[in-house]
Amino acid sequence: ANFTLRKIERIDGIWRTETVAGVPGVEGHRDGGKGTSLFRSVFDSVVADENGVLYLFAGDWLRKFDKGVLTTLNPDGGAGYVNGPVRQARFAHSQGARHGLACDGRGGLYVADKVNMAIRRVNLKSGEVSTFAGVLPGVKRTMTRDGKATEARFHPGGGPNIIFYDKKHDRFFCRSDDERGSRVILKDSEGWVVNTFMPGS
């Protein structure tokens, strides 16, 4: 809520907090280094990739923090549902519900895009955004169902907003705040598939 990204680090046995991006209490949208970068909206999703680079969502903007510099990956994007080059990609932020983020350790960043009822994949090497699971852009939304990743459907109007990657078994877990059950996305002989499991099952 202070519009900042802060680092907590233990130095000589003492925990220290440092603001590394954003200016406390100052709202705006500006890329740059410490003391110059700004956030326009509160964010609550942060993930680190295999190289220690941080990715976060602030509203509909996917931003990267690397070597002390904050940059916006989709400056030509904004609200909506558009795949393709990350610079023009669009995501749909849900008021009060975060975009969950996960990295697979192979250059893939996964976004739980709740409003668009999809899991989106950002290829950090090629800079391309695609739909990994759920509704494709322009496709009619239907009721919940399991199946092949892009044929599966999440809860109408309340897609996933939380996602985790299980590196040991190469699978994803995702869920929506609107559903009691969770989904596991794993690979079989025909590709990635989505299955529902309930608590205790």
Strands in 128-134's sheet, in edge-to-edge order, are 84-85, 128-134, 118-123, 108-113, 100-103
pTM of the model: 0.92
> Tell me, what's the pLDDT at 199?
63
Residues in the chain: 201
Q: Is the pLDDT reported for residue 139 higher than 80?
A: yes
> Tell me, what's the pLDDT at 13?
96
Encoded amino acid at 59, one letter? G
> Tell me, what's the pLDDT at 95?
63
In this structure, what DSSP letter does residue 94 have? B
The pLDDT tens digits of the residues spanning 7-26 come to 999 999 999 999 999 999 99
- Region 146-156: mean pLDDT is 90
Annotate 80-93 with b (16+ C-beta within 10 A) or e (fewer): ebbbeebeebbbbb
- Region 183-200: mean pLDDT is 86
Q: Is the pLDDT reported for residue 96 higher than 70?
A: no
Q: How far apart are the first and last CA of the chain?
A: 37
> Tell me, what's the pLDDT at 178?
74
Q: Is the pLDDT reported for residue 180 higher than 80?
A: no
Question: Does residue 86 sit in helix, strand or coil?
Answer: helix
How confident is the prediction for the chain on average, in pLDDT? Answer: 90
Q: Is the pLDDT reported for residue 151 higher than 90?
A: yes
Of 45, 185, 171, 12, nearest to 111 by C-alpha is: 45
* Sole residue written with tokens 């190289």: 51
Q: Is the pLDDT reported for residue 131 higher than 60?
A: yes
The pLDDT tens digits of the residues spanning 30-51 come to 999 999 999 987 777 899 998 9
Instruction: Look up residue 52 and give its two tokens.
Output: 């220690």
Q: What is the CA radius of gyration of the chain?
A: 17
